[in-house]
Each structure stands twice: as structure tokens, then as C-alpha cells.
Structure 1
């Protein structure tokens, strides 16, 4: 998974925040997008742990080491498929999840953890940009309504 020495070669990097004065009175992203190279380097930091605690730390059970490896190898479409196998809405969770997976990352014991949350966001954003994410309407409708409270 990833690059065997990636966690020693690359440091944790988070996206650059857009300055507050530039964000005032708009509702756009607060982070600048990552480059493909930066995503690849961050995916390379995954250590291929014998027991992937990040996978167990994720409430959704995301296959985090798998998509980190796919990103490192430049297989973005396959990474999106792996991500969608456990998460229907990575474009949201990559932005609002508190990332318990990063707290569970083995690297977090004595180093900075893999930037899992931002890699997830980068995969979802790439999926939208490339047109890989498409609606999947239900095959039949029950005619019933649902209310979401909260």
C-alpha cells in the first residue's frame, strides 16, 4: 500500500486556507484545491499497517488503505469506486467529518497522521470534475414522503 518509505519521505500537508478577508461575504470553499502530486504524496504516506486502525476508526468502515494506495498509483477512478463502496456521499464527509480515522492512524502515535480527510475530499472532487459521479435514481418510487429533522 502506498510507498513503503512514503511516511519517512513526505510530511503531512493540509490544504492552504484562503485568507479570511477573501472569504468574507462568500460561501465558497475555505481551502485551495490540492494538486494531483500533493494528493499522491499524501497517499504514499500510508504505511500498510498489519491492522489498519484508520479503517476501524472510521464510522463508515471506509477502505482507507485501499484508496490511499490507488491515489498513490494514480488510479483515481478506482479510488472513487473503492470510496463509493462504503460511502455514498464522500463529497460531504470529506468536508464535515471530524476524521476519527486520522486520530486512529498508526502514524499518529509518534508522527503526524495521514491526511485521510483531505484525500477523501480530493477523490470526490476529482470524481465530479471528471464526470464520474452520476445520479442513480431509484428503479421504482413508493409514493411516500420522508421528513428529515435536525
Structure 2
């Protein structure tokens, strides 16, 4: 069973927040590097990177993006606790061998395209509001700005109702 920060009480049909998603403190789970994300924030569990073909530069950029995302999710969890359940990331290859990371929600989609030439990579967010209007935002993404973009994406995600 996956560890979670939330505790579902079947008898009273309620959800309670636990003090920690770790069952017990021990030497093997005390270091932040080994501490897994709680189930609500574990967006990486269905990521099949081994099924994706990539160049070394693409893999390095993908690793940098995912590592930064994981660290920021850990920080958010440590500060706020589990305030929402996040959907899983998916990754695949495009026809031009770009790596595409998708984060799909019911009314918006976040994507990152990692191109063979890293400086040609980009990201985007597409949103459909309740009135069925479509809005989008996209831009270039490379080593100079990916951390700021991840911050903006997480700010957007955690401020959605």
C-alpha cells in the first residue's frame, strides 16, 4: 500500500490529515533524498522513461526538470502538507524525436517539449474554463529559465480551485 498523508476513515466516511505520511521515523527514511513523495504528490509513479528514446542532452535536461520538480513538490509538502492530489506525469516521444512531458488535468493541460537542440525546447499550458473558453500560454524553456517556469507552473496548480 502506498504511503499517504491522508487517512480515510471508512466508518465515519471522513478524511483526516495525519502528522506525517511516514509510518515511523528510522535511519533509512530520515534523509530527504530517500524520503518518497506522499501519494498525493507522487506525480512520477507512472513515468516510463525507459520507453522513451532520447539524446544525451535531452536526457540531462529531462533529469534536471524532473529533479527540480520533485524538490519543489517536497518543499510544498513540507510547508503546506497534502492540500490536493496531483495527477501523474506522462512522457513520450514526438515524431521528430522530441521528448514530451504531459501533465493532464480535467480542464487544463501542461506540457514540456524537450527538443534535440535544448535551446529550441518549450512549454505550454492550455486551460478550458467553465464557459468552455480556451486560454493558453507557452514559451521557450531551457537551462536559463526552467526553474522559474516550474515555479510558475506549481503556483498556477496550487492556486486552482
Short-chain TM bin: under 0.3
Larger strand proportion, structure 1 or 2?
Answer: 2
Task: Tell which has more relative contact order, 1 or 2 (C-alpha 8 A, sep 6+).
Answer: 1
Q: TM-score if structure 2 supplies the norm length?
A: 0.22
Q: TM-score if structure 1 supplies the norm length?
A: 0.22
Larger helix proportion, structure 1 or 2?
Answer: 1
